[in-house]
A and B are shown apart, each in its own frame.
Chain A
Amino acid sequence: NAGVTQTPKFQVLKTGQSMTLQCAQDMNHNSMYWYRQDPGMGLRLIYYSASEGTTDKGEVPNGYNVSRLNKREFSLRLESAAPSQTSVYFCASSDGGTDTQYFGPGTRLTVL
């Protein structure tokens, strides 16, 4: 049981480039989430998906798009990266009926 996996672990982009962060969970969870964490700060919710086929904006959605590909996978896309998007990105999932979210190891993204 791998839990929540994220790829890549590290990424450096130039301003204006695009990329997709991948997330997968093998716990059969309905809900999945994308957060960003800036240095010394708490996590901020970007987007979430309550169930397969649905996505909703979180606290800081601007500049991002998401796709809930199937129950297992939830991807985050940056169409035109900006230096302000330099951060660590965490994916999480949760089971129905509980607040416990399980987090992946994170992707450290730097935009130059």
Chain B
Amino acid sequence: LAKTTQPISMDSYEGQEVNITCSHNNIATNDYITWYQQFPSQGPRFIIQGYKTKVTNEVASLFIPADRKSSTLSLPRVSLSDTAVYYCLVGVRFSGGYNKLIFGAGTRLAVHP
């Protein structure tokens, strides 16, 4: 499974846009890119997933260049409640529906007033 590399930590201020970039140089053809968010003392929560180009939902946008060797999670106008750890993962969809995801250390985002 492809390994990912992302910054250990980031700081931002309320109302700013935050972009977290993840590198996955060895991504395979079948791999999808998924981002999770984790608050202290909670399990990770799915944010967004994509395969190529741009994906947007009510929470975030995901930008994936043509070579798919990196991806950028964009959080518009962050608030204090966005302070969390963000994980970038690549995983394969197996035919049986299960998947094996490798979690790295993630990026600790701290949003300041």
**Minimum CB distance partner of B104 in chain A:** A42
Nearest Cβ on chain A to B88's Cβ, whole angstroms: 10
> In the assembly, what is the distance between CA of A95 and CA of B49, in Å?
15
**Minimum CB distance partner of B34 in chain A:** A99
Partner-binding segment picked from B13-21, B39-47, B63-71: B39-47
Residues of B within 8 A of A (CB): 32, 34, 41-46, 49, 87, 91, 93-94, 96-106
Count A-side interface residues using an 8 Å CB cutoff.
31
Chain B interface, >50% SS class: loop
**Minimum CB distance partner of A37 in chain B:** B103
> In the assembly, what is the distance between CA of A41 and CA of B108, in Å?
11
A102 part of interface (Cβ distance < 8 Å):
yes
Q: Is the CB of A102 within 8 A of B97?
A: no
Q: Is the CB of A100 within 8 A of B43?
A: no
Chain A interface, >50% SS class: loop
> In the assembly, what is the distance between CA of A97 and CA of B94, in Å?
8
Contacts of B105 in A (CB 8 A): 40-42
Q: Is the CB of B97 within 8 A of A42?
A: no
A45 part of interface (Cβ distance < 8 Å):
yes
With A40-B105, A49-B98 already in contact, 13 other A-B pairs whose C-beta atoms are closer than 8 Å: A31-B98, A42-B103, A42-B104, A42-B105, A48-B100, A50-B94, A95-B97, A97-B97, A99-B34, A99-B93, A100-B46, A101-B44, A101-B46
